[in-house]
Structure 1
Amino acid sequence: MKENLHELEVPKNYHIKKTDKETLAKWFYLMTVGRAIDEKAPNYLKQAIGWSYHAPYAGHDGIQLAIGQVFDKETDHLFPYYRDMLTNLSAGLTAEELILNGISKATDVGSGGRHMSNHFAKPEWNIHNVSSCTGNHTLHAVGVGRAIRYYKHKGVSISSQGESSVSEGYVYEAINGASNEQLPVVFVFQDNGYGISVPKRDQTANRKVANNFSGFKNLRIIHCNGKDVFDSMNAMAEAKAWAMENQKPVIVQANCVRIHSHSNSDRHELYRNDSELNYVAEYDPLGKFRRMLLRYNRFTEEELDELTNKAMQEVKDVHKKALKAPDPDPESIFDFVLPEPYVSEKFPEGLHNEEGEKRKLIEALNGTLKEEFRRNPDTFIWGQDMANKDKGGIFNVSKGLQQEFGIERVFNGPIAEDYITGTANGMSRFSDKIRIVVEGAEFADYFWPAMEQFVEMTHEYWRTNGKFAPNVTIRLASGGYIGGGLYHSQNIEGALTSFPGIRVVYPSFADDAAGLLRTSLRSKGPTLFLEPKALYNSPIAATPIPEEFEVPFGKARVRKEGSDLTVITYGNTTHMCISAANKLEEEGHSVEVIDLRSLIPLDKETIIESAKKTGKVLVVHEDKVFSGFGAEVAATITSEAFEYLDGPVQRLGSTFTPVGFNRILEKAILPNDEKIYNGMAALLKY
């Protein structure tokens, strides 16, 4: 065996003389149906019927036919990109399903008209709904590959994309991770030489972009002519077989041509000359395949004409059916934003009267993780510094997990936050039983590289019309009061709560941390779990914790009842608000302190009822006042309880600056007991 696996010759298993006539007829028919729809798609837009985004695949016919033919919906997972029309048709989608997607009908099997046209999918067949963030699905394919390996499943994960999207950093993260973890993933690069109007030479120094990865260990690279059916079939069959047999990744670089413009919003004649346009037209794969079938006497002209006429008639018939299909109901826009969460029967309000030994917040998190890992053997956790001998995470939240549950369920991730988060999304697709916890970054401030995957997670459930939601809990150590400075003490919830489709929780006490984490791990869909790291080992956050304690999402907790002033808070400042309220009580004032615990969903009922009772409201959080989450809380109160107010809703938080490193600067920036006391006192006097 050659040392450089990517130099191995591909066995020629498919040949026009050896392939049976029935198979050849099937391939020709699929290619003809696909091309008919590909050429018809722009007319829908011209007639104002839909298909406002169409990326023609003509010139990619060979490789796309091959991808679909080697894909097995019973064992494999397929991640097509927006140009993969023939791939999806070859994989089993019907012509009608393609058109329903194109004209965004309610019966579109991929998204019910919610996703952009030309994004074909059928989640129930493991043909995944891929977003418009080009190439980001490589991370999902790797996550599925990890599950395939772990569960010893017979199959592969196939990811398809254009060569220009390989320039994205997360594609490198995906291929690096797949080669490092040795996962059965087939990455297909359909190289037509252009990223919209940008030629390949402006993307990469290598003429073959796959060769950028030639130094990666455990990775095989196969080159093929993506315009040729048989070369493409051989390449894909070999790639799949090799990935399954060796449990390692493969890149298939398919040389294609783009016959038409990038999409119907592009005019390729503005950047391609007549010579090039004539050249790519001459290399039309469908025409070449037809000529081969005739040259080798596998079919007569009459037989191929008959297949062509049959294909055209099918497209006409399904066109008429698709036009009659229902449009999406505008009242359905709030369906499938988030799956229904796990509901606690024992602790429906997330309250308890447990007494006894107090446990610290870090102990609550660690203990709950272990309990849930024992309860559900399909639970996994990974991140940076998660499992190194006796160390478990930068703050030791995961301490002891790997020792008990093993390296395949508890393991380290690379310093690549997008990879950590994206592969969690991917692995959760393998089975709805799977629950994943990731430490998205060592500090919440470092999470920004994963924002692309965070955004992806938030609209998966809505975009797929309720067919898929990643069962992932993203843990982040948040906030300041540790002298950490930039990238170690900032708060990020103000930005992250602006995205629909993810739950966001922020506990202040050990019992709530345990209860919310348990609910997160038992619920379907994604949860962002923000942990006030300054309270990990703080005695003021320690509490008794009932066995199997659960806290529902969207249920605030009244920490102190009062009648003169409502203070709404969460996280680190909860304890400061309680302290200031107790001091004011000694001075004759009654202050109610509400700990939100859950930011999304938000317990509006408790907030509004308290505002009506006291007439004055102060919203306090550690994050910046300007554009902080408190702005939403204040606006909600003003909108829904204005007539009950005896003063303006006030907000108190950090200054509109970064959090500085020097403790003097940190104290000047962050809220503290004194600032909060003064804010309460001033509002009481209003």
Structure 2
Amino acid sequence: MVATTIPPMRALCRYLLRPQAPVYPRCHHLVRSKRHSSAPAGARLNNTVEYDTTPILHHTSRTALQNPELPEDVRKGQTKRINLYTAINEALRHALQTDERTLVFGEDVQFGGVFRCTMNLATDFGTERVFNTPLSEQGLVGFAIGAASEGMRPVAEIQFADYVYPAFDQIVNEAAKYRYRSGSSGVNCGGLVIRMPSGGVGHGALYHSQSPEALFTHTPGLRVVIPRSPTQAKGLLLSSIRSNDPIIFMEPKILYRAAVEQVPVAPYYLPLDKAEVLKAGKDVTIISYGTPLYTCSAAIKAAEKDFGCSVELIDLRTIFPWDRATVLDSVKKTGRAIVVHESMMNAGVGAEVAATIQEKAFLRLEAPVKRVTGWATHTGLQYEKFIIPDVTRVYDAIRQTLDY
């Protein structure tokens, strides 16, 4: 008898994140007959995201360099068209080049990682600064905290956000509290960055599709950052590495290769304490972050055409501590607010944003604050597209909020 072996969960990562053929070829007709929340032919709203034309991305050098957050010398420089994982790689490379205290490590990081974000870094900077760790999230984060407390600038990678839970104790009880418990000694673990791919990818199922950001927003002492694009990823990651606060840096994995735009060649630093108004409007404010911003943008385009409304779109960027002033100023202007995120509604980021709006802008509201989020369930392989908010749900939220 030939013994059979079951591959470990982590060995399935690359397989799970490839487009899949039917498991049972004889049932292929069943796969074709399924109804999906992203659309059949002829659908008007739930179409594939058009990354090549979306206004969320910079498609020309001119628009990329018009960003007022960029320093003047960068705005006078050049850009190049890259995707999000390349932007992450460039930020790490610059940090390694300019500060010998920078370390990059994690599971398979030396070989580039599952998503190739650290590709060639070990070759160029040596395995003393870019190296693999054992398969122990608790161990690698504990090591990172120790390195940061000794003055290093460690960038630790969790292979998937779904795997961060073994390290939760180290992050919440050690990294977040280090400065608080050290009193006047000045000892802290500022300079620590913990990177992790997060969010849905279409077929990640239970262990490769989670968005656990809200768990960290309940923890004083941490910053939680989620970029939406290559430009944002490069600038926010460089700022995170330079920051003197521990940073949870969550990278929407579906955007690693899908989001491509013109990005400044020179290094630059974007603010970690400021939301960005992506589109001005006067009737409704939509607040979101990461991947759902693309969904929101498509829904806004359709809603403005159909309803004759004007919708403002805000990217939080840093979801803890988040920029309350920008959000409240917008909602006081429009009188209506919708919060959109992939993670479930219960105790999510949207709950905090909605409560703050209700508390600080109640007399200016023309409708209840609406949340469009993932459903409160685990992500089954076949049903991931039904769980994550789609264009239709955001479009309906705009209509309902306007009609209230």
Same fold (TM over 0.5): yes
CA shift, 1:629, in A, is 0.9
Higher relative contact order (CA 8 A, sep 6+): 2
Q: Secondary structure, in 3 states, of the residue corresponding to 1:680?
A: helix
Return closer, same or farther for 1:543/1:623 CA change in 2, 3 Å cut-off: farther
In 1, are the aligned partners of 2:216 and 2:222 still within 8 Å (CA)? no
Residue equivalent to 2:303: 584
Letter in 1 for 2:294: H
Residue equivalent to 1:405: 125
In 2, are the aligned partners of 1:616 and 1:648 still within 8 Å (CA)? yes
Query: How many residues in Structure 1 have an aligned counterpart in Structure 2?
Result: 332
In 2, are the aligned partners of 1:554 and 1:599 still within 8 Å (CA)? no
Distance 1:349 1:630 in 2: 26
- Aligned counterpart in structure 1 of residue 176 of structure 2, from 434, 458, 483: 458
Distance 1:520 1:562 in 2: 30
- Aligned counterpart in structure 2 of residue 496 of structure 1, from 216, 220, 225: 216
Distance 1:349 1:367 in 2: 19
- Aligned counterpart in structure 1 of residue 241 of structure 2, from 504, 521, 531: 521
Distance 2:106 2:70 in 1: 29
Distance 2:273 2:262 in 1: 21
Residue equivalent to 1:685: 403
In 1, are the aligned partners of 2:222 and 2:246 still within 8 Å (CA)? yes
In 2, are the aligned partners of 1:485 and 1:659 still within 8 Å (CA)? yes
In 1, are the aligned partners of 2:141 and 2:171 still within 8 Å (CA)? yes
Structure 1, residues 410-446: CA drift from partner, whole Å, max 9, x if none?
A: 000111000000011112222x3x211000x211011
CA shift, 1:620, in A, is 0.3
Residue equivalent to 2:389: 671
CA shift, 1:544, in A, is 2.4
Letter in 2 for 1:496: F
- Where in structure 2 are the equivalents of 1:145-544 lying within 5 Å? 349=69, 356-388=79-111, 392-430=112-150, 432=151, 434-439=152-157, 441-455=158-172, 456-465=174-183, 467-470=186-189, 471-539=191-259, 542-544=261-263
Residue equivalent to 1:39: none
CA shift, 1:349, in A, is 4.2
Structure 1, residues 110-166: CA drift from partner, whole Å, max 9, x if none?
A: xxxxxxxxxxxxxxxxxxxxxxxxxxxxxxxxxxxxxxxxxxxxxxxxxxxxxxxxx
Distance 2:202 2:95 in 1: 30
Residue equivalent to 2:325: 605
Distance 1:619 1:469 in 2: 34
Distance 1:545 1:604 in 2: 29
In 1, are the aligned partners of 2:236 and 2:269 still within 8 Å (CA)? yes
- Aligned counterpart in structure 1 of residue 369 of structure 2, from 640, 649, 671: 649
Given the two structures, how large is their TM-score scaled by the length of structure 2? 0.79
Q: Secondary structure, in 3 states, of the residue corresponding to 1:489?
A: coil
Letter in 2 for 1:630: G
Q: Secondary structure, in 3 states, of the residue corresponding to 1:357?
A: strand
Structure 1, residues 45-94: CA drift from partner, whole Å, max 9, x if none?
A: xxxxxxxxxxxxxxxxxxxxxxxxxxxxxxxxxxxxxxxxxxxxxxxxxx
Letter in 2 for 1:549: Y
Return closer, same or farther for 1:590/1:527 CA change in 2, 3 Å cut-off: same
CA shift, 1:372, in A, is 1.1
Distance 2:387 2:251 in 1: 20
Residue equivalent to 1:557: 276
In 2, are the aligned partners of 1:559 and 1:578 still within 8 Å (CA)? no
Q: Secondary structure, in 3 states, of the residue corresponding to 1:648?
A: coil
Return closer, same or farther for 1:529/1:547 CA change in 2, 3 Å cut-off: same
Letter in 2 for 1:369: L
Q: Secondary structure, in 3 states, of the residue corresponding to 2:103?
A: strand
Q: Secondary structure, in 3 states, of the residue corresponding to 2:177?
A: helix
Q: Secondary structure, in 3 states, of the residue corresponding to 1:387?
A: helix
Q: Structure 1: give runs of 5+ residues left out of the alignment.
A: 1-346
Distance 1:546 1:606 in 2: 29
Distance 2:263 2:103 in 1: 27
Letter in 2 for 1:504: V
In 2, are the aligned partners of 1:383 and 1:420 still within 8 Å (CA)? yes
Return closer, same or farther for 1:386/1:611 CA change in 2, 3 Å cut-off: same
Letter in 2 for 1:363: T
Q: Structure 2: give runs of 5+ residues left out of the alignment.
A: 1-66
In 1, are the aligned partners of 2:278 and 2:314 still within 8 Å (CA)? yes
Distance 2:365 2:89 in 1: 43
Distance 2:236 2:384 in 1: 29
In 2, are the aligned partners of 1:566 and 1:591 still within 8 Å (CA)? yes
Higher-Rg member (1/2)? 1
Q: Percent identity?
A: 39
In 2, are the aligned partners of 1:460 and 1:469 still within 8 Å (CA)? yes
Distance 2:126 2:182 in 1: 34
In 1, are the aligned partners of 2:80 and 2:265 still within 8 Å (CA)? no
Return closer, same or farther for 1:498/1:620 CA change in 2, 3 Å cut-off: same
Distance 1:685 1:508 in 2: 30
CA shift, 1:681, in A, is 1.7
- Aligned counterpart in structure 1 of residue 335 of structure 2, from 600, 615, 626: 615
Runs of 4+ in 1 over 4 A off after TM superposition: 347-356
Distance 2:361 2:257 in 1: 38
CA shift, 1:482, in A, is 3.0
- Aligned counterpart in structure 1 of residue 286 of structure 2, from 567, 571, 593: 567
Residue equivalent to 2:63: none
CA shift, 1:545, in A, is 2.8
Q: Secondary structure, in 3 states, of the residue corresponding to 1:517?
A: helix
Distance 1:376 1:513 in 2: 19
Query: Cα RMSD between the aligned structures?
Result: 1.8
Distance 1:657 1:355 in 2: 45
Q: Secondary structure, in 3 states, of the residue corresponding to 1:599?
A: strand
Q: Secondary structure, in 3 states, of the residue corresponding to 1:536?
A: helix
Letter in 1 for 2:345: V
Return closer, same or farther for 1:582/1:530 CA change in 2, 3 Å cut-off: same
Distance 1:489 1:510 in 2: 20
